[in-house]
A and B are shown apart, each in its own frame.
Chain A
Amino acid sequence: MVNLFRSANDDPHPPQSTAPGPKAPIQVAVRDLTIRYGNWPVLSDVTLDIRRHEIFGIIGPANSGKTSFLNALNRMDLLRPNMTVHGEIRFNGVDIRTWRNVYALRRMIGVVFPLPVGLPMTIYDNVALAPRLSGKNLDKTALDALVERCLRRAALWDEVKDRLHALGSLLSGGQQQRLTIARALSQEPQLLMLDEFSIAVDPVTTMRIEDVLKSLQEEMTIILVTNLVQQAQRLAHRTAFFLDGRCIEVGETEALFSGQVKNRRTREYIEGKFG
């Protein structure tokens, strides 16, 4: 009997992630972040720190500003004519607005979307795209190795190794989502941002991806935006609760879920009373 819940690297014991302590270096520091679309504020006065090699969960109902928060971190506001960002975001201690090369910034940040996006090219090309775009002239062997490594880490290699030159956009939803993760990993990012990745993925695949994330945490910081409270509980070391464009509370996940909340609304959301 095959254990469907087996983890990405065929480790019989699911990986346990370790939380970086409060003294861990800061990967992303956000101060007084306010995001508007036109005159419409979607996020106001968010201040928080994300530690290096931490899985940072963001929970909250729809329209609470979670996705806009992610968009601000990799400067996608430049591609949204209406979107304005105020406040300060420091990535590795550097204000991202002083980065002259936003493309280099975006390459350091991998993004996984709610709906899987398999680009209409082969599976191989999907994963090889980022290194090719970045202008690293990897030779065939190095590229092959990179593609295999990323697909393995995204727990997709065994399913596609015999058809790497089939179209990536024709894979099933769950496979495409893992392809998206493999593609993000091929950027060799320092930060991986997942935006409600499990929305179009079956439960089994979701569990596999969750195991993947736990093992990835050793190498990169992960921001996990999710509308599944339990997913944040399973994965995140610390969790932020966003509501109506405000960051209501940030705390250790364990503490939040054992009732040590400062705000009544957080408790109600976690307990499923609204949202």
Chain B
Amino acid sequence: MFSAQPVNQHNRQVEWLFRLLFGIMLTLLIIPVLLIIATLFHRGGSTLSLEFLFTFPSDGMTAGGVFPALLGTIWLVVVSLLASVPLGVAAAIYLSEYARQEHWLTRIINLATINLAGVPSIVHALFGLGAFVLFFRIGTSILAASLTLAVMTLPVVIVASWESLQAVPRSFREACWNMGATRWQTIRQVVLPNALTGILTGIILQVSRAAGETAPIMFTGAVFFLPFLPGSPFDQTMALALHLYTISTQVPDVPESLPFAVALLLVCIVLLMNATAIWFRMYLRGKKKW
């Protein structure tokens, strides 16, 4: 009665075939990543040390550490977050909770936001140079570079936040409104607490992108070399991504392991951020509330 019919056998073969196919595709995707990380470890791993992290470059950037660049990257990421997160989350709240969803203006703004996320970073760089450095006369500084990064990452923050706000069921809002809650009370009490997880994940992923970008900060605030640490957002700074570019292409006689060590550090930072985001999401998914 339960013996395999020909059709079952055929289905099983197809099932097995597709399993294999998707498995191969996954492997093909993972191999380059593993190869990159392995190469970086192999050629730069020995140079990477605590001393490398916390000393200045020396001998015309052919020796020493990356401390000012590391610190500069942290400066850039933090200041750009301070600009993009409040603005982006507020914009997402407006688009999701206040704007009339079917209105043509709302749709155009949504579409524009998504498109803005696809603009090449060098275009953002030129915009930042024109707007922040020249027009607002901030000058090349951490602030100008961070604002440029913020403009670049803003669409991602908005879209991620908008999506997590929309993921909160509408019935929760309806229940609150019917109880006599204002829109803001509803957002504050019910919508935001439940959308926060997705918003935070979006922000962390955005941080990793900001940390790795070179073009937007090149014209707006990051420099080849500084003999001192930046003391305020109005100073210029070094940054890891630009430092890597510089020592790989502009500086003669750099020992081969140095750029690899910087690249390894950069990749580690980005991976660490992404891993945090993924762990965070898994942690919160475990506590799902409905």
Contacts and interface: CB of A to CB of B under 8 A. Distances in A.
20 contacts: A76-B177, A81-B100, A106-B177, A106-B179, A109-B178, A111-B175, A111-B178, A113-B175, A117-B171, A118-B290, A120-B190, A129-B176, A129-B179, A129-B189, A133-B180, A133-B189, A167-B289, A169-B289, A169-B290, A170-B290
Contacts, number: 67
Given A107-B179, A111-B179, A180-B175, 5 more contacts: A79-B177, A106-B177, A117-B175, A118-B290, A133-B180
Interface residues of A, number: 30
Contacts of B290: 118, 120, 169-170
A68 interface: no
A92 interface: no
B59 interface: no
Contacts of A129: 176, 179, 189
Contact of B171 (A113, A134, A183): A113
Contacts of B181: 103, 133
Highest count of chain B CB atoms <10 Å: which of A133, A169, A170: A133
B279 interface: no
Contacts of A117: 171-172, 174-175
Interface residues of B, number: 20
Given A120-B289, A120-B290, A169-B290, A103 B174 contact: no
Q: Which 4 A-B pairs have the closest CB atoms?
A: A120-B289, A107-B180, A106-B180, A169-B290
Contacts of B171: 113, 115, 117
Interface string A174-192: 0000001001100100000
A113 B174 CA distance: 10
Contacts of A103: 180-182
A183 B179 contact: yes
Interface string B182-207: 10010001100110000000000000
A183 B190 CA distance: 15
A81 B102 contact: yes
A119 B178 contact: no
A187 B179 CA distance: 7
Interface in A89-122: 103-107, 109-111, 113, 115, 117-121
Nearest to B185: A133
A76 B178 contact: yes
Interface in A120-142: 120-121, 129-130, 133-134
Contacts of A113: 171, 174-175
Contacts of A133: 176, 179-181, 185, 189
Interface string B117-155: 000000000000000000000000000000000000000
Contacts of A110: 179
A253 interface: no
A134 B180 contact: yes
Contacts of B175: 111, 113, 117, 119, 180, 183
Contacts of B182: 103
A130 B190 CA distance: 13
A102 B150 CA distance: 40
Nearest to B190: A119
Contacts of A105: 180
Contacts of B178: 74, 76, 106, 109, 111
A119 to B, nearest CB: 6
Given A81-B100, A133-B189, A119 B180 contact: no
A107 B185 CA distance: 14
A104 B180 contact: yes
A130 B289 contact: no
Nearest to A180: B175
A208 to B, nearest CB: 21
B113 to A, nearest CB: 21
Contacts of A76: 177-178
Contacts of A74: 178
A223 to B, nearest CB: 13
Nearest to B173: A79
Interface string B82-120: 000000000000000000101000000000000000000
A74 B100 CA distance: 21
Contacts of B190: 119-121
Contacts of B185: 133
A45 to B, nearest CB: 26
Contacts of A104: 180
B224 to A, nearest CB: 51
Interface string B264-290: 000000000000000000000000011
B184 to A, nearest CB: 11
